Amino acid sequence: MANAPVTVTITGAAGNIGYSLLFRIAEGAIFGPDTPVNLRLLEIPPAMNAAKGVAMELADSAFETLYDVDIFDNADAAFEGTNLALLVGAMPRKKGMERADLIEANGGIFGPQGKAINDHAADDVKIVVVGNPANTNALIAAHAAPDVPNERFTAMMRLDHTRAISQLAEKVGARNEEIKKMVIWGNHSADQYPDISYATVAGKPAVDLVDDAWLTDEFRPRVANRGAEIIEVRGASSAASAASGAIAQSRDWVRGTAEGDFTTIGLYSDGTHYGVPEGIVFGFPGVAKDGKWEVVDGLEISAATQAGIDKNVAALQEEYEIIKSLGIA
Ligand code: NAD
Ligand code: LMR
């Protein structure tokens, strides 16, 4: 194989998303056909047998790009030498749980995992947080990893992005590939602001092809609530589409975004883009080049987009206040 192997750690590896994710990574979906991967699967003790079963299936597939698979129930060991960490396992919201309870429970997962990444991962580690609440979990992990640059902790907003592309494509009768420059501002939650202001469809401005009523009454609520819709229809949270989002976000980070387009990336805000204050993980328009994300600056912000950004800033700052009050940040 032309390149040296890379190490990928996946938490929650025996779960639903993990099952869709692992086989595609093993086959080269992120790093390509010339880069072998070593997979390190992190699970909790009750799920270790399920993780072993998944590892057996990975072995049975005899992927040419898969070298080693190891299973751990210990974060320090699981993140040893990791180049890419996909943090999927999280504490789901249970009946009667307040938002603060959920964030505190996840602090007990993403704090220690952030510290383990800090202490054991490779110097070039990249982190994609999928487990919900993804933006704030990414922030929690970043706070626990003072030696890892904050911008390496990203939240997975790619599924929201592709949901928006798909809805617009269906509405205007276009192919997904004809739609460029979509953006989802803010949080991976129902507060998010899906925005077609800069989008083009086969080179034409998308705003000229749809009316405001569709955007307000159908498109934005549909995209923002799609996760809940999938749960209702499927009886379980999105899994294969979430895995596709995590792969696309990771692949673009490693290999670069397409020329002439941008995507949505949940990035640690450094306070210099679109008035979003420093210290929250926020969905921005972004491009990846040479292994780094950059926010696309200079887009004109309408009053409606500004209101969408402001709403998400307020929601994420509220979550940030919760983690500060819990002493997690
Ligand atoms: P799942 O319940 O099927 O699997 C989660 C797995 O995580 C389980 O196997 C569990 O044992 C494991 N786990 C729990 N705590 C862990 C820990 N401390 N360390 C390691 N593993 C741990 O759930 P799923 O369907 O795979 O979804 C995982 C997460 O992804 C959920 O939080 C879900 O809400 C979120 N999600 C996010 C997006 C997004 O767009 N960001 C989309 C879909 C789902
Ligand atoms: C999704 O957007 O599909 C998920 O975040 C929904 C969920 O709550 O797991």
Model pLDDT for residues 64-88, shown as the tens digit of each residue: 999 999 999 999 999 999 999 999 9
Helix, strand or coil, per DSSP, at residue 98: coil
* pLDDT band at 94; cut points 50, 70, 90: confident
Are 126 and 163 in the same domain? no
Ligand 1 within 6 A of 88 CB? yes
Q: Of all protein residues, whose CA lies closest to atom 5 belonging to ligand 2?
A: 227
Do 188 and 268 meet the contact criterion of CB atoms below 8 Å apart? Answer: no
Q: Are residues 177 and 85 in the same domain?
A: no
Are 129 and 181 in a shared domain?
no
d(CA 36, CA 45): 28
Task: Give, for ligand 1, the residue of 129, 237, 249 to mutate: max count of ligand atoms closer than 8 Å to Cβ.
Answer: 237
Ligand 1 within 6 A of 42 CB? Answer: yes
For residue 11, the surrounding DSSP H or E stretch is: strand 6-11
Residues 111, 171 within the same domain = no
DSSP labels for 47-73? GHHHHHHHHHHHHHHT-TTEEEEEEES
Ligand 2 lined by 230 (C-beta under 6 Å): yes
Would you say residue 326 lies in a domain? no
Examine the pLDDT at 96 and tell me if it is beyond 90: no
80 and 183 fall within a common domain: no
Distance in angstroms (rounded) separating the CA atoms of residues 207 and 223: 17
Q: How confident is the model at residue 210 (pLDDT cuts 50, 70, 90)?
A: very high
pLDDT of 239 > 90? The answer is yes
Strands 292-295 and 281-289 turn out to be antiparallel
| Catalytic annotation, pick one of 143, 161, 188, 273 | 188
- Given this model, what pLDDT does residue 290 score? 97
Question: What are residue 6's DSSP bridge partners?
Answer: 37
Instruction: Name the residue with the closest Cα to ligand 2, atom 4.
Output: 227
pLDDT level of residue 45 (50, 70, 90 thresholds):
very high
Looking at the domain assignment, is residue 329 inside a domain?
no
Q: Which pLDDT score, from 0 to 100, does residue 9 have?
A: 99
pLDDT of residue 292: 98
Number of the ligand closest to the Cα of 102 = 1
The tokens for 83 are 């180049």
The string of pLDDT tens digits covering residues 255-285 is: 999 999 999 999 999 999 999 999 999 999 9
Share of the chain above pLDDT 70, in %: 100
Bridge partners of 266, per DSSP, are 155, 283
> pLDDT at position 92, please?
83
131 within 8 A of 155, measured Cβ to Cβ: no
Provide the 10 A C-beta neighbour count for residue 193: 23
Structure confidence by residue, pLDDT tens digits, 101-121: 899 999 999 999 999 999 999
Handedness of CA 30, 116, 87, 111 (dihedral sign): negative
- The span from the CA of 317 to the CA of 323, in Å, is 10
Rounded Cα distance, 266 and 315, in Å: 15
320: its two tokens? 């940030």
The verdict on whether 143 is a catalytic residue reads no
* Pair (132, 224) in one structural domain: no
Which pLDDT score is estimated for 97? 84
Which range of residues forms the domain containing residue 99? 6-155
Residue scoring higher pLDDT (329 or 200): 200
- In terms of Cα–Cα distance, which of 134, 179, 119, 105 is closest to 316? 134
Helix (H, G, I), strand (E, B) or coil at 294: strand
- For residue 265, the domain's CATH number is 3.90.110.10
Q: Indicate if ligand 2 lies below 6 Å from the C-beta of 246.
A: no
Q: What CATH number has the domain bearing residue 26?
A: 3.40.50.720
Count of Cβ atoms closer than 10 Å to residue 18 Cβ = 26
Question: Does residue 303 lie in a domain region?
Answer: yes
Q: Measured from the CA of 134, which atom of ligand 2 is nearest?
A: 5
Residues 247, 150, single domain; the answer is no
Residue 303 has pLDDT above 80, yes or no: yes
What is the pLDDT averaged over residues 42-55?
98
CB of 12 closer than 6 angstroms to any ligand 1 atom = yes
Instruction: Identify which of 253, 30, 15 has the alpha carbon closest to the alpha carbon of residue 7.
Output: 30
Domain count, the chain: 2
* Contact between 17 and 242 (Cβ < 8 Å): yes
Main-chain phi, psi angles of 182, to 5 degrees:
-80, 155
- Using one digit for the tens of pLDDT, what is the confidence trace for 155-189? 999 999 999 999 999 999 999 999 999 999 999 99
pLDDT value at position 98? 84
Q: Is 12 in the pocket of ligand 2 (CB under 6 A)?
A: no
Q: What is the radius of gyration, based on Cα positions, of the chain?
A: 19
Give the model confidence (pLDDT) of 118-150 as tens digits: 999 999 999 999 999 999 999 999 999 999 999
Mean pLDDT, rounded, of the chain: 97
Give strand pairing partners of 87: 11, 129
Please name the residue whose Cα sits nearest to atom 2 of ligand 2: 227
- The answer to whether the beta carbons of residues 246 and 158 sit under 8 Å apart is yes
Ligand nearest to the CA of 155: 1
Contact (CB, 8 A) for 279 and 320: yes
| Inter-residue contact 263 to 257 (CB < 8 Å) | yes
- Ligand number, closest to the Cα atom of 242: 1
Q: Is 1's pLDDT higher than 80?
A: no
